[in-house]
Amino acid sequence: MKANILIVDDNKSVLSALDILLAPQFDHVKCFSSPNQIVTELRQRDYQLVLLDMNFKTGANTGNEGIFWLNEIKERSPSTSVVLITAYGDVELAVKALKLGATDFILKPWDNAKLLATIQSAIQLSFSRNEVSDLKQKEKALKQAFNPKDKYMIGSSPELMAVLKMVQKVAKTDTNVLITGENGTGKELVAREIHRLSKRNKEMLVSVDMGAVTETLFESELFGHVKGAFTDARESRPGKFEIAHKGTLFLDEIGNLSFHLQAKLLAALQNRQVTRIGANQPMPIDIRLITATNKDLERMVGEELFREDLLYRINTIHIEVPPLRVRGNDILVLAEFFLKKYAHKYDKPVPKLNQQAQEMLLKYQWPGNIRELEHAIEKAIILSDTKVLKPDDFYLRPAKVGKGGAASLKIEDMEQKLIGKALEAHPGNITAAAAELGITRQTLYNKMKKYEFL
Ligand SMILES: Nc1ncnc2c1ncn2[C@@H]1O[C@H](COP(=O)(O)OP(=O)(O)OP(=O)(O)O)[C@@H](O)[C@H]1O
């Protein structure tokens, strides 16, 4: 049977009798005559069962030491079953131990067939506990996946319709999809829509923000770990790949992944299997991969910042989500939607937009796209108490209103846009923004005055 058993008893003849009986039948049987080694051993391996003596000191029969070690085991490894060995058959002690989490009790001298049956069911119980713990992890991820962000895409512009048509086509297939577009354009929503319309929709879409995964946590987060693989790994945990098995894995901000980690990701995608840290068995993984980025990955490949082989693996289908400023009337449709949403949230009547406010929203460049529009509307609802919203009720940076209307290509407009982006990327840090733009602080100040950022 595939199981790891730890036997702890200070009576050497008991140890060797149990070893002779169990070693041929189970994967790994380890014997210790002192309980002091239990903690170290539990850190190193996943044990399904500990057979534990109740009385370690000669002559002691209170069972207190056994109870102490039972607690230690349960605290460190909740899924491990503990079966206690005692020569005294003390019922009260047995009840106490069972209440504290022992799975069963055996009396010395034992009957081999009965002992084996007890051991097998204790091991089964441990496996089920582990399954439950894995399911709980899945459930947690599921709850996160079904957050309020899970809603349909609003808008009717030809630009958005083209995206949705593409979404419908690729959703039926299992191909990898790369979604690009500026921040806040709805890339994650597109990913969710593909999953929702796919045959994998009974399973989960598991989303990972690659920009937020640290170098050290990358492997554990994506591939999982077994107990004891590193300090703090008190329980075995599945990685996002495993949780997404049979469903969709959405890797957001893929362009932020370091070159070194890109190789690890590529290996998992190529082999279609992952190995939890500390485990020796790889697990086959069946996922549809969707990635997203606001970066130009082709350019990054040219600059040797992104692996070409990884790009070819992830971009079988490429969907570009257009910025809000080119989606025309969608701006007003979305504005209406957010007006209703936030009026409801803040318990206010739904206001209307007057003509000038509508024109202003249509002309604005929306560098933060739909996310920025949503925040602008929420702020207007919170701060105003009128039934009709005017331009003054919105707190948009005037410098960002495109003089030439949407998608202007005038050099001045582009410069103004770049400055806006740099300031947004480095809030409150003019030096960093100037460095990113490749100009001096003073030049940046002058330009900020010119474009009314100050
Ligand atoms: N068409 C749409 N209809 C309704 N809400 C939308 C639409 N597109 C985007 N949103 C909303 O705008 C916000 C930003 O969308 P999302 O997170 O999908 O953008 P993103 O492109 O993935 O952003 P980032 O690049 O910053 O991760 C979300 O709150 C989302 O629900």
369 Cα: distance to centroid of ligand 1 (angstroms): 8
Upstream peptide bond of 284 is cis (omega within 30 degrees of 0): no
Q: What is the dihedral of CA 59, 62, 64, 65, to 10 degrees?
A: 20
Query: Phi and psi at residue 453, in whole multiples of 5°?
Result: -80, -15
CB contact at 8 A, 364 and 406:
no
Q: In which band, very low, low, confident or very high, does the pLDDT at 144 lie, cut at 50, 70 and 90?
A: low
Q: Tell me if 324 CB under 6 Å of ligand 1.
A: no
Q: What local confidence, expressed as pLDDT, does residue 355 receive?
A: 94
Q: Tell me if 276 CB under 6 Å of ligand 1.
A: no
Give the angle 200-204-206 at the CA atoms, nearest 5°.
120
Q: Structure pTM?
A: 0.64
With residue 268 as reference, give the H or E element that holds it.
helix 259-271
Q: In which band, very low, low, confident or very high, does the pLDDT at 57 lie, cut at 50, 70 and 90?
A: low
Pocket test for ligand 1, best of 291, 327, 342, 370 (most atoms within 8 A of CB): 370
Domains and CATH numbers, the chain: 4-133 (3.40.50.2300), 152-322 (3.40.50.300), 323-406 (1.10.8.60), 409-454 (1.10.10)
- SS (HEC) of 162-195: HHHHHHHHHHCCCCCEEEECCCCCCHHHHHHHHH
Q: Tell me if 185 CB under 6 Å of ligand 1.
A: yes
Strongest mean pLDDT among 37-41, 198-202, 337-341, 390-394: 337-341
Residue 401 DSSP one-character state: B
Q: Tell me if 183 CB under 6 Å of ligand 1.
A: yes
d(CA 410, CA 412): 5
The helix/strand/coil state of 58 is coil
Rounded mean pLDDT of 177-203? 94
Nearest to 244 by CA among 315, 142, 128, 133: 142
Question: Residue whose CA is closest, atom 16 of ligand 1?
Answer: 186
So what's the ipTM on this one? Answer: 0.97
Write out pLDDT tens, residues 224-267. Answer: 988 877 877 777 888 999 999 999 999 999 999 988 899 999 99
Rounded mean pLDDT of 48-60? 77
Q: What is the dihedral of CA 244, 250, 256, 259, to 10 degrees?
A: 50
- The amino acid at 185: T
